[in-house]
Structure 1
Amino acid sequence: MFITPEDYNVVIGPDALKVISQASAENIENAQCEAVEEIASYLRPEYDTEAIFSAAGKERNRLIVMYTADIAIYHLLSSLPGRPNYELRKERYDRAIKWLEGVQSGKIVPDLPAMSDAGDAGAAFGTIYSSERKLRHNW
């Protein structure tokens, strides 16, 4: 998987992770898959998401790792009754989504591998088409 158990230590303690995952590695894996797909849906038009999420160790973008962990924890927490610390997790989730929207709009440019030009479907993403004003020869 893209996220290792040690990566979660930056955003949540190991005991708290066990509690919100209900001590199930399968729950954590499902939340990670959901988080990766959610992030990829924002990045896919401009960035090579396969290369981003297949990277390992120090080759991974640390911000993507942190936001993936934040989003996965948010999804895990959303399924619990009572939702402990929900406000904090909702705030971190919203911050991750805001960053992804900034990347998608081109206002934020992270150090991520770009899509190759060979047949990518999102080549026109971010391109603005326009034309000159219509000429009127009415004298």
Structure 2
Amino acid sequence: MSQFIDLKDYDASIHKEILDALTREDDTVIEICEDRAIAEMRCYLSKRYDCDKIFSATGEKRNQLVLMIAIDIAVYHIFTIHNPRNLSPIRKERYERAVKWLESVADEDISVDGAPLLPEEVRVNKSNFLMKSNRKRVNHW
């Protein structure tokens, strides 16, 4: 269970009545979606940032931009539980925007101001080397 997001944090993104209707007033569903959102974010942020410090922060010590992205992803997952075919366009757009932002952070195009970085030796040891090849184009029989 994550302590990074409080229930009152959702007030800036979704009305309490809508959240209660989507989760049928079951707070465990919210906690599960929060944990999934944080796990998804860790995949992108762990390359450069100390995710343990970022997501263990509470109250005013939390990075507000990271908190907003986490809430957008969690709310998207909550909405998909209800009716994924009738998903609100704004929720889909905010989720896609959050993922695009996370991809930019992972590609080191942008940085998260105030987020704790991993130690230099840990960041250097992570290799960006990837080996690929093209598909075979011609077969001779």
Contact 2:44 2:106 in 1 (8 A): yes
Q: How far is the alpha carbon of 1:28 from its aligned partner?
A: 0.2
Measure the CA separation in 1 of the matches of 2:8 and 2:105: 26
Return closer, same or farther for 1:109/1:19 CA change in 2, 3 Å cut-off: same
Change (3 A) 1:86 1:125: farther
Q: Which of 58, 63, 66 pairs up with 2:65?
A: 63
Q: What is the CA deviation profile of residues 4-62 of structure 1, one whole-angstrom value per residue up to 9, with x for unaligned ones?
A: 11111111111111111221110000000000000111000110000000001111110
Greater fraction helix: 2
**1:1-139 map, 5 Å:** 1-81=3-83, 85-111=87-113, 112-117=115-120, 120=122, 122-125=123-126
DSSP-derived class of the 1:108 partner? coil
For 1:28 and 1:102, the matched residues in 2 are separated by 27
For 1:101 and 1:32, locate their aligned partners in 2 and report how far apart those are by CA, in whole Å.
19
Q: CA RMSD in A?
A: 1.9
- Runs of 4+ more than 6 Å apart: none
Q: Which has the larger radius of gyration?
A: 1
Percent of aligned positions with the same letter in both sequences? 35
- In the superposition, the TM-score normalised over structure 2's length comes to 0.81
User: 1:133 maps to which residue?
Assistant: none
Measure, in 2, the Cα distance between the counterparts of 1:24 and 1:39: 24
Counting matched residue pairs gives 126
User: Gapped runs of 5+ residues in structure 1?
Assistant: 129-139
Q: 1:14 to 1:46 in 2, by over 3 A?
A: same
Preserved CA contact (<8 Å) 2:80 2:87: no
Q: Which runs of 5+ in 2 are unaligned?
A: 130-141
Q: Deviations over 1:84-108 (max 9, x none)?
A: 5521110000010111111111111
